[in-house]
Structure 1
Amino acid sequence: METIPVNNLPVVGIGASAGGLEAFEQFFRNVPADTGMAFVLVSHLDPNHASLLTEILQRSTALPIVEANDRIAVAPNHVYVIPPNRDMTILQGKLRLNIPDESHAQRLPIDTFLRSLAADKGDNAIGIVLSGTGTDGTLGLKAILDGGGVTFVQDPISAKYDGMPSNAIHAGCARFVLPVDEIAKALGSGTRSTVIFQGTPPTPAAISGMNRILMQLRAASGHDFTLYKKSTINRRIEHRMSQHNIDDTDVYARYLKENPHEVHMLFKELLINVTGFFRDGEAFEILKQDILPELFSDKPADYVFRAWVAGCASGEEAYSIAILLYEWLEETHQIFNIQIFATDLDEDAIAFARAGIYPFTVAQDVTPERLHRFFVKEDAGYRINKEVRKKVMFALHNVISDPPFTKIDLLSCRNLMIYLEPELQQRLIPAFHYALRPGGVLFLSPAESIGTHTGLFSPLNRKWKFYRAIRTSTFSRALMTDPLWISDNSSKAPEASIRKSGDGNFAELTRRALLQFYAPASVVTDAKGNILFVFGETGKYLRPAPGQPTLNVIEMAREGLSLDLRAALHAAGQGTPTLGRELSVKTNGGFTSVSLSVRILPGLSSNEGVLLLSFQDVTALSPPRKSLRRKRAATSGQGRIEELERELDYTRENLQATIEEQQASNEELQSVNEELQSSNEELGTSKEELQSVNEELITVNAELQAKIEQLIGVQNDMKNLFDNINVGSIFLDEHLVIRRFTRDAAKIYRLVVTDVGRPLSDIKSAIEDDDLLTEARTVLDTLIPHEREVHITTGGWYLTRIQPYRTLDNVIEGVVLSFTDISARRDAEMAMQDARELAENIINAVREPLIVLEDNMKIVSVSRAFYNKFQATPGETLGRPIYELGNGQWNIASLRTLLENILQQDKTFDDYVVEHDFPGIGYRKMLLNARLITPRVGNKPLILLAIEDVT
């Protein structure tokens, strides 16, 4: 296999939590050993427990599996496992380990690694999310998709816990949803070569097919993707083709024509909806510390600061800028109106952004202070609070073909132009200049720039791509030469051109005109009077209240309106509208008659408490109340009027006191509510910590269960081993207490299962003269093994061995007594001894001398008649060659030849005559007879030599 350069090495990041052990094992059982990829496993592990994951998984694959070390370089066809209580990232192909700040709760180790993998490997990154609870891994998969990599998610149906896979799928981060074994086969079968990487240059037929696909997409959606980056477009089209098992672009083009729904799915696929809160944190710090002070300098108090986030995707960038503006205004104690426009092509992304609900994983990107200040925790995740949401206006808008917003102070377009061809990038820059006020700031991503339009912008920060718009007339000429921006409604404000003109154009113009000329000034509030929307000019009836800024309609009401307005809101809360109540409102130093109406908005449930307040001047004014009072005074008496006025003043004072008491009670209730909310957040945090601990315990339990199964297998093997070798063993601790024994040990000691834990001295043995315990203590003290043969009362013999009990760490923790039945051997030895004694008695009973020789002619045995005949002793005879007996009288050449022939040719001889003068007995004439004896046991032959004296 070819060596893959380190920079091009595909790295597979696999994340799992609860139920992940089974998924890991199934995955590696199906992964080939030569994929050429490196695998990195990230799981939720107990920080205080040693992981068995490496040892368990090694049984499932031939790939080498190691626990990761800091700065270890990943290699192809290797598996690396995250250690307990560590966060792991990858940088320049090397794994980096860090000790986490918190052991539990907000830790998201899978997201942490996958995001670093996306940044380090780009389109060579592969992300896989398997079984688990929670949302960890979703943001990591989004980052991998954004970087051009590929993501796999386990099919929730096959997952033991479907929380993590389901969350990743619902977030749109799953490129492939497959069972675990299918994911492994997809990686090993070459799927990645056609899906992840762009291979050889496309053929003209493939280019033609792609163009047909883009033309159909433009005709159906109205959006032209021809000037988007070809690599990105091709990769995403290939993904849709793979979903339908289509390999040919022409075939897919026909499929699009026949299936309009697929056109919509392809359009969704091509939209880049990957973003995050405070992406590139240092850039946002520069924006807050250096850029915003200059943008707000020399601005009047009533200035409206306008920002535009182009290509906002799911809204994180827009909300990040809104939060930053709020923080800066609070820190500098300034008050400005803020308008933030956030636009995108994707209608679903805009709807998601408007809702402002994000998964719990955003806690990884947002500081705890910002999370507490600007987010509200709900069951589905964290929601941006209303204070920030109402400042951001989301709308559908095509930055390429629709007119831009105007009079913008800050324009953020980050990581959008990287997906566009250079030609289209150069057309967008003049449009952005047109949208900005002179001195406004353009905020791009580090991978983007203004290109050749250096005359339109001056750089403020080259690293993080902040540019100031320069006042110049060249931008208008550059803009007019670009046909993308020329349209019949190019002079309209983008707010009016968000929705395309259609058949209802005249109806829409008529409706707007009627609203402008005939509809009264109105506000929409909630049940407490907090303003949600303002229509028309309400300055004659409402004005900013002194002190802390507020949007409560009662506090903003002008003199003469607040009491009746409060009563009308209370009545509306009870379901009773107020229609046409005439009031005298003080404006410009005098009183004006105003008609007040409070209605519950139709189409909304009454329990939502959304009210419509309308103000309208009364054309036929009745005489002022003071004049009426004077006339009544003239007719009924001044005293009576003054009395009534005093009663009215007293009533108003009592009412005001009551209102103040209610306000105080409301503040107390609000304070209690905040405390309860804080307690709820603490309980939520505790719940997350418990969930994290539960996931870790599930993982540890799965590892221990696998270890138990392995130990059970080993125990079964050991049991069968002991049962088959018929060796009795007793394991004693250092106090000679029984720890364990085998079945055959019960033949020596009368042991039962309940004897485990008892001293061996309490058990009666069947050994005669039993002193094994004394010998066991000696072995325990000296560590010198001991063995001897013992006889038991039932008649058997056993070889007893006593050895020290050593652990894997070479620690002595007792002794082991083993008993091997040698009864059969002893019986054989006794039988052999008896046979030997019988043979010797027979030999001794024969009158003729007999000699038994070995193959080297050494004497093994002689008869008693030989000793008597030749006056020899056993010491002088046994073990010596026959040729050396006496004075060498048996060293006869012919005899030597005969004896050697017997060994070599398996012959015998009879009546061989020997005449010799023997010391002590004189001259003798003898006849020798020889026979070859071949024993059954052993391979050394023997020679039996018989001597007959014939003198």
Structure 2
Amino acid sequence: MSPKNSAADEGTPPPVTTVSVPEISSRSFSVVGIGASAGGLEAFEQFFQHIRADSGMAFVLVPHLDPDHASILGDILQRITPIPVIEASDQIKIAPNKVYIIPPNYGMTLFNGRLQLHEQDLPRGQRMPIDVFLRSLADDCGDRAIGIVLSGTGTDGTQGLRAILGGGGITLVQQPDTAKFDGMPISAIRAGYATWVLPVAQMTEVLQGDTRLLASPSEMPSLPSRLSSINRILLKLRQITGHDFSQYKKSTIGRRIERRMSQNNIGDIDLYAQYLKGHPAEQQALFKELLVNVTKFFRDDEAFALLKSDILPLLCVGKPEDYVFRAWVAGCATGEEAFSIAMLLREYMDDTLSEFKVLLYATDIDEDVINIARAGFYPPNIAQDVSPERLRRFFSKADGGYRMKKDIREMVVFAVQNVIKDPPFTKLDLLSCRNLMIYMEPELQSQVIPFFHYALKPGGVLFLSPSESVGNHPQLFATHNRKWKFYRAIDLHPSPRLAMSHDLAWLGGDNHAGSEAIVKKPKRTDFAILAQRTLLHFFVPASVITDRKGNILYVHGDTGRYLRPAPGPASLNVVDMARDGLSLELRSAIQSAGTGSAAVGRDVTVMTNGGLLRVSLSVRPLANLANGGLLLVSFLDVESPPAKKSVRSRKATGPAELQRIDELERNLADTKENLQATIEAQQASNEELKSANEEMQSTNEELQSTNEELETSKEELQSVNEELITVNAELQAKIEQLAGMQNDMKNLLDNISVGTVFLDSALLIRRFTREAQDIYRLVASDVGRPLIDIKSDIDSELVLADARTVLATLIPSERELRTEAGVFYLLRTKPYRTLDNVIDGVVLTFTDISQRIADEIEVRKARDLAEGIVDTIREPLLVLDAKFHVVTASRSFYDHFEVTLQQTVGRLIYDLGNRQWNIPALSELLETVLPRDRSFEGYIVDHDFPTIGHRRIELNGRRIVGPAGETELILLSMNDITGLDENE
């Protein structure tokens, strides 16, 4: 299995919640993080055109925005969706059925259901805002997180989707052939982090239509009811892959099976178990789903900082130069954690000026991710996890990503291995296994911890994730750092160490008793080893082991008679250290052995401190070694022949032969001198070539640095281009919106038939409508000219005076004007306000009121005529409205009842003359008889009037009815008949 996501809550009990908490947790509803770059505006519009307002989800949008340009994305989206669209602010609590948009020049994360904003300080090419947010979304929401990647260039969003998948969430990627720019979708698809690959419109169907997808954990079928089917599925996987998941947590297994069921539109787990049997491709897909291959470089920065500052010095202090540091990363996924540890080791060696061999094993159960790790190639968005200094030092840019440099890559050995059943690596200094055990049941965890103890040296360090611990085995490990889970292996006797590992599969069988018996046997002397040591000491010649270049790696016995420190800079090269007479034969023998043929038994005369020494020189290649290329150089003394024999032989030799011998010796000496000179010249040439090679390497590094700078500039330009594309799309949408508004405004002004002139603060013409040309003789070229320069049929001085007054006081004004042709206009002058509430001129509107003026004149004439008629009538007459208020009265009424106009018009009839008309009989006539009969005649009223005394009055009334049958006016005439009856 692989390292798991940092949201390790599955390995710990869920927090206890109470009903008293008023806030809605982000885990109670799904949160959808949507990332897009170039071409994202169109994709956003398609997405929100199909989302219901009551979807129950919160949406967070993370597009690539120009940091120097205010975004109008929220305004654009708000026109097409009823869901409230909000620009995110720091610490805002997200809620369902709302859309949040990242502001320009900010990064954003989600923590405890609140959005956290931080200003961007990275260069444009290194910003990965989508990855940053989606990772935080995975950490905060777990299996309630939904990640979506839409149109865009580059790889931003890929690692974020990886984190969401690891946390149990789901991911959707826009189908590349429907995206305006397919870089981001293709990156996510190729990495294998897309749960669905769909057109944008179909994404909303998946989110809103699949109830299993969005169901909360409490709504899922209970585990006991599904346990039998899950076990059948895991049994089938074990038969196919050989890997047993039966002791992994069923909650995690169940969620991932649910996700595969959703993708295959299968609602019943029993049906899915049957479906799995007949579909090998789905079997592999489920196997990949259960492997949570989620990791990143330097995950938990504080933990790795502690590893470098505290743990590595503890493990490496006092180690010799040839020490082999052994480490193991179990569940390495795509290798980021293994390479992180390798980089820290390299930094430690450089800082302490030490050098030792590193053998770092990195294993995983998934062969595909091991192949990715072996390639050592990672996307550009690792820049948010790896510092710029480490990127420059340990990576090289290539093919749109970063490739691990050779010196770090060679430290790590990748292999496919199952922690549960395969034999471990042993004698380890460091063992890292992070976020693997959180997915195991406690019983399996209890087996793995002794297994790790067995693999470590006494004092070796176990590195776990913050959510893991050594559990029920405190006797095996001492806690070094409780927060970041560093443990040191306690040195136990062999018996407990072996006894604790008896349950592991790699030990096999039931042979536990045999193991215990072996452990309990007393230690016996190994005579074979003792004999070997003795023979090596007394009978094996002095020897050295070298590489193919002659550099000494190991020395056996006393080699001082054959080798000595060479003058000049210190060197461990065996040829340089050879005594006089030995170097030529030794160089020749090493070259011969380097081709695979041994040079054995070469007699050489060596000049030592005590004279000449005959030595048998042998150089043999060492076979069957993993590293290869090593040579064994042996020196064996050979007895010299007796001196007498040499004298006799010399005496027996004739003068000619002696002369010939002397000549040959001189030639040999000359040849040796020439050879030595040639060798020295060759060495000088080699030094020059070496120097030239170093210069070439330096030049190559400079060129590589220049190339990296160009790549960085290219990425920044590409990022700027994406932002400009996004801004251009927003502005294009804004232009279309403004064009529509301009058309609407033009049609509005054309149809209200009001002449309008817009003036700026200097009273220069800004624009005008068609009807304004009837007042001022305006043409299109008059825009920008002073209004006073335009000839008009009205008094322009009055117009401009009103305009100046409005500009000064900001109080609108109205005025009626008459043209020379007799046309009347109502001039309204108001301040011109911008959207920012800034006064930037005035607006003049000219409304033609000629018809109204004519109607008023006619009405006035009719009223004068009516009043003349009323005043002509001799009998008193009142005209009342429907509420019995006096509209007008005849002159005879005023004279007869001795009242004035002011005391009569506008007053209620019952209140006239100190309420002298408050007569019950009159009330009966007006309120009952008239509404029913429309008129009455000859009605006699006897009443005492305060002003004129007792009177007998004959009343006649008529109701004037409007078009709808309502009472408009009431005519009430009065005839004073007091005394007529007496006369009669």
Matched, 1:391 2:411: yes
Matched, 1:785 2:804: no
Question: Which residue does 1:543 correspond to in 2?
Answer: 551
Instruction: State the alpha-carbon separation in 1 of the partners of residues 226 and 923 from structure 2.
Output: 101
Once the 2 structures are TM-superposed, how far is the Cα of residue 327 of structure 1 from its aligned partner?
A: 0.8
After the TM superposition, which of the residue ranges 940-949 and 270-279 deviates more from structure 2? 940-949
2:784 to 757, 763, 784: 757
Question: Which residue does 1:462 correspond to in 2?
Answer: 482
2:743 to 703, 713, 716: 716
TM norm structure 2: 0.76
Matched, 1:471 2:492: yes
CA contact 2:134–2:157 (8 Å) conserved in 1:
yes
Matched, 1:8 2:27: yes
RMSD (Å), alpha carbons:
5.0
Once the 2 structures are TM-superposed, how far is the Cα of residue 903 of structure 1 from its aligned partner?
A: 5.8
Give the SS at the match of 2:237: helix
Instruction: State the alpha-carbon separation in 2 of the partners of residues 375 and 309 from structure 1.
Output: 21
Instruction: State the alpha-carbon separation in 1 of the partners of residues 431 and 916 from structure 2.
Output: 128
Letter in 1 for 2:723: E
Matched, 1:330 2:330: no
Question: Which residue does 1:287 correspond to in 2?
Answer: 307
Q: What does residue range 242-257 of structure 1 map to in structure 2 within 5 Å?
A: 242-257=262-277
Give the SS at the match of 1:60: coil
Question: Which residue does 1:416 correspond to in 2?
Answer: 436
Question: Which residue does 1:821 correspond to in 2?
Answer: 848
Deviations 1:660-692 (A, max 9, x none): 333333222222222221122222222222222
Q: What does residue range 25-424 of structure 1 map to in structure 2 within 5 Å?
A: 25-102=45-122, 104-191=124-211, 193=213, 197=217, 199-202=219-222, 206-424=226-444
Letter in 2 for 1:482: D
Once the 2 structures are TM-superposed, how far is the Cα of residue 404 of structure 1 from its aligned partner?
A: 0.8
Once the 2 structures are TM-superposed, how far is the Cα of residue 540 of structure 1 from its aligned partner?
A: 6.6
Question: Which residue does 1:658 correspond to in 2?
Answer: 685
Instruction: State the alpha-carbon separation in 2 of the partners of residues 797 and 396 from structure 1.
Output: 96
CA contact 1:860–1:879 (8 Å) conserved in 2:
yes
Which of structures 1 and 2 has the larger relative contact order (alpha carbons within 8 angstroms, sep 6+)?
2
Letter in 1 for 2:697: Q
Letter in 1 for 2:41: L
Question: Which residue does 1:517 correspond to in 2?
Answer: none
Give the SS at the match of 2:333: coil
Question: Which residue does 2:505 correspond to in 1?
Answer: 484
Q: What does residue range 732-751 of structure 1 map to in structure 2 within 5 Å?
A: 732-751=759-778
Once the 2 structures are TM-superposed, how far is the Cα of residue 285 of structure 1 from its aligned partner?
A: 1.9
CA contact 2:575–2:583 (8 Å) conserved in 1:
no
Instruction: State the alpha-carbon separation in 2 of the partners of residues 908 and 59 from structure 1.
Output: 65
Instruction: State the alpha-carbon separation in 2 of the partners of residues 307 and 927 from structure 1.
Output: 127
Once the 2 structures are TM-superposed, how far is the Cα of residue 330 of structure 1 from its aligned partner?
A: 1.2
Unpaired stretches in structure 2, ≥5 consecutive residues: 1-18, 513-544, 554-565, 607-614, 622-626, 635-656, 943-952
Matched, 1:21 2:60: no
Once the 2 structures are TM-superposed, how far is the Cα of residue 544 of structure 1 from its aligned partner?
A: 5.6
Question: Which residue does 1:520 correspond to in 2?
Answer: none
Once the 2 structures are TM-superposed, how far is the Cα of residue 945 of structure 1 from its aligned partner?
A: 6.4
CA contact 2:960–2:968 (8 Å) conserved in 1:
no
Cα distance change on mapping 1:488 and 1:781 into 2, 3 Å: same
CA contact 1:12–1:40 (8 Å) conserved in 2:
yes
Instruction: State the alpha-carbon separation in 2 of the partners of residues 903 and 553 from structure 1.
Output: 141
Give the SS at the match of 1:442: strand
Deviations 1:436-476 (A, max 9, x none): 22222221112112222222222222222222222322444
1:854 to 876, 879, 895: 879
Q: What does residue range 769-848 of structure 1 map to in structure 2 within 5 Å?
A: 771-835=798-862
Instruction: State the alpha-carbon separation in 2 of the partners of residues 880 and 265 from structure 1.
Output: 93
The share of aligned pairs that are identical, in percent, is 54
Deviations 1:712-731 (A, max 9, x none): 33333333322222212111
CA contact 2:330–2:432 (8 Å) conserved in 1:
yes
Question: Which residue does 2:645 correspond to in 1?
Answer: none
Deviations 1:208-233 (A, max 9, x none): 32222222211221111111221222
Question: Which residue does 2:558 correspond to in 1?
Answer: none
Cα distance change on mapping 1:744 and 1:204 into 2, 3 Å: same
1:703 to 713, 725, 730: 730
Matched, 1:941 2:966: no
Instruction: State the alpha-carbon separation in 1 of the partners of residues 238 and 867 from structure 2.
Output: 115
Once the 2 structures are TM-superposed, how far is the Cα of residue 182 of structure 1 from its aligned partner?
A: 2.9
1:679 to 706, 725, 728: 706
Instruction: State the alpha-carbon separation in 2 of the partners of residues 751 and 37 from structure 1.
Output: 57
Give the SS at the match of 1:66: strand
CA contact 1:854–1:942 (8 Å) conserved in 2:
yes
Letter in 2 for 1:42: V
Instruction: State the alpha-carbon separation in 2 of the partners of residues 707 and 112 from structure 1.
Output: 30
Instruction: State the alpha-carbon separation in 1 of the partners of residues 412 and 471 from structure 2.
Output: 30
Once the 2 structures are TM-superposed, how far is the Cα of residue 551 of structure 1 from its aligned partner?
A: 14
After the TM superposition, which of the residue ranges 548-557 and 70-79 deviates more from structure 2? 548-557
Once the 2 structures are TM-superposed, how far is the Cα of residue 854 of structure 1 from its aligned partner?
A: 1.2
Instruction: State the alpha-carbon separation in 2 of the partners of residues 588 and 642 from structure 1.
Output: 14
CA contact 2:210–2:262 (8 Å) conserved in 1:
no
CA contact 1:123–1:197 (8 Å) conserved in 2:
no
CA contact 1:195–1:238 (8 Å) conserved in 2:
no
Once the 2 structures are TM-superposed, how far is the Cα of residue 364 of structure 1 from its aligned partner?
A: 0.9
After the TM superposition, which of the residue ranges 105-114 and 420-429 deviates more from structure 2? 105-114
CA contact 2:957–2:970 (8 Å) conserved in 1:
no
CA contact 1:314–1:352 (8 Å) conserved in 2:
yes
Deviations 1:162-191 (A, max 9, x none): 222222222222223333333333333353
Cα distance change on mapping 1:578 and 1:895 into 2, 3 Å: closer
CA contact 2:327–2:361 (8 Å) conserved in 1:
yes
Letter in 2 for 1:8: R
Deviations 1:557-604 (A, max 9, x none): 996699999999xxxxxxxx99989999999987968799xxxxxxxx
Instruction: State the alpha-carbon separation in 2 of the partners of residues 479 and 773 from structure 1.
Output: 103
Once the 2 structures are TM-superposed, how far is the Cα of residue 307 of structure 1 from its aligned partner?
A: 0.9
CA contact 1:433–1:475 (8 Å) conserved in 2:
no
Give the SS at the match of 1:451: coil
Cα distance change on mapping 1:478 and 1:885 into 2, 3 Å: closer
Letter in 2 for 1:853: L
CA contact 1:193–1:199 (8 Å) conserved in 2:
no
Cα distance change on mapping 1:114 and 1:563 into 2, 3 Å: farther
Instruction: State the alpha-carbon separation in 2 of the partners of residues 890 and 310 from structure 1.
Output: 111
Once the 2 structures are TM-superposed, how far is the Cα of residue 837 of structure 1 from its aligned partner?
A: 6.1
1:907 to 930, 935, 945: 935
Once the 2 structures are TM-superposed, how far is the Cα of residue 363 of structure 1 from its aligned partner?
A: 0.9
CA contact 1:460–1:468 (8 Å) conserved in 2:
yes
Instruction: State the alpha-carbon separation in 2 of the partners of residues 374 and 556 from structure 1.
Output: 37
Cα distance change on mapping 1:551 and 1:819 into 2, 3 Å: farther
Question: Which residue does 1:435 correspond to in 2?
Answer: 455
Letter in 1 for 2:65: L
After the TM superposition, which of the residue ranges 332-341 and 227-236 deviates more from structure 2? 227-236
Letter in 2 for 1:149: G
Cα distance change on mapping 1:767 and 1:672 into 2, 3 Å: same
Question: Which residue does 1:531 correspond to in 2?
Answer: none
Give the SS at the match of 2:95: coil
Cα distance change on mapping 1:564 and 1:115 into 2, 3 Å: farther
Instruction: State the alpha-carbon separation in 1 of the partners of residues 340 and 302 from structure 2.
Output: 13
CA contact 1:883–1:891 (8 Å) conserved in 2:
yes
Instruction: State the alpha-carbon separation in 2 of the partners of residues 77 and 889 from structure 1.
Output: 71
